[in-house]
Amino acid sequence: MMNPSKVMESISIKLNQKLIPDQIQRLQQQIEFMLEIDKLKHILRRTILTDRSREENSAEHSWHIAIAVFLFSEYAQDQNIDWYRVIKILLVHDLVEIDAGDTYCYDHQSRKDQAQREQKAAERIFKILPLDQSRSFRELWDEFENRKTPESKYANALDRFQPFLQNYATKGQIWRENNITRRQVKDRMQPMFDGAPLLWNLVELLIDDAVQKKYLAG
């Protein structure tokens, strides 16, 4: 792979002729970021595709929940929110995994230093951007993590809902492989209660159903 930072270097002189000089470094940083985040496509999650052929990666997951924003918007707890911001939050929320990797939500050992690893990743990755964008991307990530705004509550609800549905649709294959229990899934799904209570009702029923069908330990 060509080093992202090298891609633009060779042509920056020529660009001087067509762009405002100040814009060149800025554009260089943006392109470097665009190429850097390509790596999210390599981060495998502990969720499988519905045909069970392989694990899902974090770029695919991010796309899927971004579409879910307007597919399920009527179920968001707060209807008076900035939907565009919700999508931006979700498109950005997993970028730190490029360095920090995906942490399985039921793996208590690796969750111990997850926050630390992800903070460090955020430092490096968002710093590739021009300063103003570095800040605004970082803000989107912090907002998701803090789960305080209505936008981030709905975003977190969708981030939990999509892998849940895929687990259910694949008869709990990953749950079974990891001996996951009803209690664990219920705890994990709690943010749905805040962000999308009607979908939480559905999830509660599906959890009961999953236990009955032995997709999930009781």
Of the candidate residues 5, 114, 133, 178, the single one contacting a second copy (CB under 8 A): 133
Residue that is written with structure tokens 């899927």 in the block: 64
What element of type H or E holds 46? Answer: strand 44-48
Give the whole-angstrom CA distance, residue 118 versus residue 110. 12
Cβ-proximal residues to 128 (8 Å cutoff; 6+ apart), any chain = 29, 32, 33, 36, 134
Residue 30 CB, nearest approach to a second copy (Å): 6
Q: What's the chain's length in residues? A: 218
Cβ atoms of 94 and 137 closer than 8 Å: no
How many CB atoms sit inside 10 A of residue 20's CB?
9
| By CB under 8 A, residue 131 contacts a second copy | no
Residue 134 CB, nearest approach to a second copy (Å): 12
**Sole window of 7-15, 96-104, 144-152, 174-182 interacting with a second copy (rule: CB under 8 A):** 7-15
| By CB under 8 A, residue 14 contacts a second copy | yes
| By CB under 8 A, residue 37 contacts a second copy | yes
Give the whole-angstrom CA distance, residue 184 versus residue 28. 45
With CA atoms as reference, report the closest residue to 52 among 193, 158, 142, 172.
172
Give residues 51-70 in contact with a second copy (rule: CB under 8 A).
51-53, 56-57, 59-60, 62-64, 66-68, 70
Cβ atoms of 120 and 100 closer than 8 Å: yes
| By CB under 8 A, residue 105 contacts a second copy | no
| By CB under 8 A, residue 201 contacts a second copy | yes
Of the candidate residues 2, 21, 80, 108, the single one contacting a second copy (CB under 8 A): 2
Residues making contact with a second copy (CB under 8 A): 1-2, 4, 7, 10-11, 14-15, 18-19, 23, 27, 30-31, 33-35, 37-42, 49-53, 56-57, 59-60, 62-64, 66-68, 70-72, 83-84, 87-88, 91-92, 133, 162, 165-166, 168-171, 198, 201-202, 205-206, 208-209
